[in-house]
Amino acid sequence: MEAVLLSIATFVSTYSGGLLAVKLKNKLHLIMGFTAGVILGVVFFEIFPEIIEQIKERDIVPTGVMIALLAGFLVFHILEKAILIHHAHEGDYAEHIHPQVGVLSALALIGHSFLDGFGIGLGFQASPAVGLLVAIAVVSHDFTDGMNTIMMMLSHENSLKRAKVFLLFDALAPVLGVLATLFFKLPPTFLILYLGFFAGFLLYIGASDILPQAHMKKSSYQLMSLTVLGVLLIFVISRFV
């Protein structure tokens, strides 16, 4: 039930992130810097400790979880860069307009957002505390997912109306992801593998996607402080949840 309620928060976060991308262009990097810190905090202070605890409790060999973690990191790295290779080719035909590239990127983001919701649902299957903290990581960065959807669509010459339709799909995707997890229950061994996979996925988004985006125009101590603040916030929360 909590998972379903939190999925509504993912909807609001994604959608308002997209709308804000249209309006508030100058402060976005600060929000991204903070979000990256929040995500790193969730990976290191909530998901990793949960994985370690489960490994001890069930006496599991950690290799499988570590492979799942690396797979989570690499799958998204490869997906993202594969789309970039496509973008690079676009430069060769600069005179043509290819709105479908924007659509393709937005669809990739929508798939990712579905997985975000899936992660919340499975987090709750592990324990309410893990579910809640995964939800914090997802809700806070879904904001940037919404922003990216709008930016991808608009930068490839799609109309604002069309961009907003895709934003709506992207906002609905995590809700559907959460709902999907209500129809089955993963056995604990698979759950721990998924936690590993999701930690790798979040690590990639935080460290290799959002953080570089935040620093793209200009690095500042203010921006770095916000990242540290995001980490500290989750450290404090994780002491209580």
- Interface ranges with Zn ion (CB under 5 A): 116, 145
Least spacing, CB of residue 141 vs Zn ion, in Å:
5
Least spacing, CB of residue 113 vs Zn ion, in Å:
5
CA-based nearest residue to 43, from 237, 234, 239: 234
Least spacing, CB of residue 145 vs Zn ion, in Å:
4
Distance between CA 208 and CA 210 in Å, rounded? 6
Least spacing, CB of residue 43 vs Zn ion, in Å:
14
With beta carbons less than 8 A apart as the criterion, state whether 79 and 108 touch. Answer: yes
Within a 10 A sphere around the Cβ of 127, how many other Cβ atoms? 14
Choose between 50 and 145: whose C-beta lies nearer to Zn ion: 145
Q: What are 100-104's contacts with CB under 8 Å, separation 24+?
A: 100/156, 101/156, 102/152, 102/153, 102/154, 102/155, 102/156, 102/157, 102/158, 103/153, 103/156, 103/158, 103/166
